Amino acid sequence: MPAESVFAMFSFGFMVCYLHVVQTIDARRKTTSGSTPPSLVHLLPWWVGCVACGVLATFTRSNGVVLGAYPLHYAVINVYRELSRHRRKRNTQNTTQNTQNYARKNTVNIAVITVMAIVVALCTALPLAYVDRMGRALYCHTNSSGGDGDRPWCGMHGGSLYTFVQKEYWNQGLFNYWRVDQLPNFALAFPVLFSCGVLFYTYVQQYNTLWNVRVLGCVTEAEEEEEEREEERGAGKGVVVPFVFHCVALSVLCFFAMHVQVATRFILASSPMCYWFWYDVLSGGGGGERGGGEGGEEGRKNRQKWCRRCLVGYIWVINAVGIVLFSSFYPWT
C-alpha cells in the first residue's frame, strides 16, 4: 500500500507548524512598542511540532528530508532582514545606547531562530541516516546470508543504501526514463507537471517577483514594505516562496530523473502548491492572467472557463478511473 497519504499528513502538518512559527515571528517583529509582542517561548510547541512531523514524514518516505529546507530558508531570510534593519537603525538612531540595545536583541533573535532551524533540519534528516545505518548493520560485514561479500555501498565511501537501491533496481537516474516506450507514462504525468510549470510562471507574472525568486526571497526594506501592502491580495508572496521552490524542484526531479508516472502522487503528497493553484483556477482567479481592454477581458474569461472545464474533467478522470486501475496494479498514480 502506498504511503503517500500518511506522508502527506505528516508533511502538511510540518508546513502548518512552520507557517505558524513564521507568522508569529513576523507579527512579533512588526508589533509596535505599545502592545505586548508574543514571546518566542510560545513558539516552542510549534518547533516541536515541526520536529515531530518532519521525523515522521522522513520515516514514511525519504523525500521528507527536503522539509528541513523550509526552516533553513527562513533562517537565511531572517538573518538578511535583521542585518538590514540593524544597518538602518544604526544610520537613523541618535543615541548609541539605543543602537546597542537593538543590536543585542538583533543578535539574540538571529541566534535563536538559526539554531532552531538547524535543529529542525538535522532532526528531519535523522531517520534517513538511521535507515542507512540499520541497513549497513544488517547486510554488511556478515556472512550469515551466504553471499559473496559486502555490497558496493557497504564501504565508508560507498554512498547511501537507498541511492544504491534506486539506481541498481529501479533504474533511477538522469534521463534514464527518457525512452520512446515511456511516452504513455509521460502523458500520464503531464497534467501535474504542466500545472507546476504554469503555477511558477503565474506566480512570477502576477507579483513581478522574478528577482525575488532568484534571491531566495531576500528583499530590500522598500520591497518588504510593498509586500506587506500587497498581502491583502492573498497569503503574501514572500511566505509562498519556499513552497514555490519546493514544488518546482520536485517537478523537475520527476521529469528528468524519476519514474515519471509517479509524479501525480509524489508531488501532490509533498506540496500544497497544486491544490492552491487549482483552487485559484476553479474559483475564478484564473492563475493571475491579465487581459487588456474589453476584448482582452472577454478572452481572459473564456480561457478561465476552458481551464476550469479541463481541470474538473481531469480531477474526475484521475479519481474515477484511477480507483479501478491503481487497485489492479496498473501504473495509474
Give the whole-angstrom CA distance, residue 28 versus residue 109.
11
Pick the closest to residue 123 from 53, 189, 178 (CA basis): 53
Residue 95: is its pLDDT beyond 70? no
Q: Does residue 87 carry a pLDDT above 70?
A: no
Residue 36's pLDDT is what?
44
pLDDT confidence of residue 212: 53
Q: What is the per-residue pLDDT for 148?
A: 47
Res 122: pLDDT: 94
Report yes or no: 7 and 61 within 8 Å, Cβ to Cβ: yes
Residue 92 burial (10 A CB sphere; 0-12, 13-18, 19+): exposed
- Give me the DSSP letters along 66-125: GGGHHHHHHHHHHHHHHHHHHHHHHHH-S-HHHHHHHHHHHHHHHHHHHHHHHHHHHHHH
d(CA 171, CA 152): 16
Please compute the mean of the pLDDT values over residues 42-59 and round it to a whole number.
90
Q: Is the pLDDT of residue 9 over 80?
A: yes
Alpha-carbon span 30 to 28, nearest angstrom: 6
Residues 258-268, mean pLDDT to the nearest whole number: 86
**What mean pLDDT is predicted for residues 95-109?**
61
The average pLDDT across 10-26 equals: 88
State how far Cα 219 lies from the chain centre.
Answer: 20
Report the pLDDT value the prediction gives residue 4, as an integer from 0 to 100: 82
Is residue 262 scored above 50 in pLDDT? yes
Cα separation, 26 vs 80, whole angstroms: 14
Q: 57-66, 110-119, 244-253, 285-294: lowest mean pLDDT where?
A: 285-294
What is the pTM for the complete model shown? 0.78
Q: Which long-range contacts (CB under 8 A, 24 or more apart) does 186-189 make?
A: 186/260, 188/260, 188/261, 188/264, 188/331, 188/332, 188/333, 189/254, 189/255, 189/260, 189/261, 189/262, 189/263, 189/264
> Distance between CA atoms of 235 and 16, rounded to whole angstroms?
13
Does the pLDDT of residue 143 top 50, yes or no? no
pLDDT of residue 99: 53
C-alpha angle 214-274-200 in degrees, rounded to nearest 5 = 25
Q: What is the pLDDT of residues 166-183, one digit of tens each?
A: 777 777 878 888 888 888
More confident residue, 118 or 94: 118
pLDDT digits (tens, 9 = 90+) for 211-260: 455 445 455 444 555 544 544 444 455 678 888 889 999 999 999 988 88
The model's confidence at residue 50, banded by pLDDT at 50, 70 and 90, is: very high
Mean pLDDT, rounded, for 25-36: 58
- Predicted confidence at residue 124, as pLDDT, reads 93
Q: What pLDDT, on a 0 to 100 scale, did the predictor assign at position 160? A: 72
Query: Please, which residues have CB within 8 angstroms of residue 125's CB and are 6 or more apart in sequence?
Result: 58, 65, 68
The three grid cell numbers given for residue 250, joined into one nine-digit string: 520536485
Q: Which cell is 283 given?
A: 474559483
Average confidence (pLDDT) over 265-283: 87
Query: Of 172, 72, 87, nearest to 124 (Cα)?
Result: 72
CA nearest neighbour of 79 among 227, 223, 246, 216: 216
pLDDT for the residue numbered 239: 75
Sorting pLDDT into bands at 50, 70 and 90, what band is 12? very high
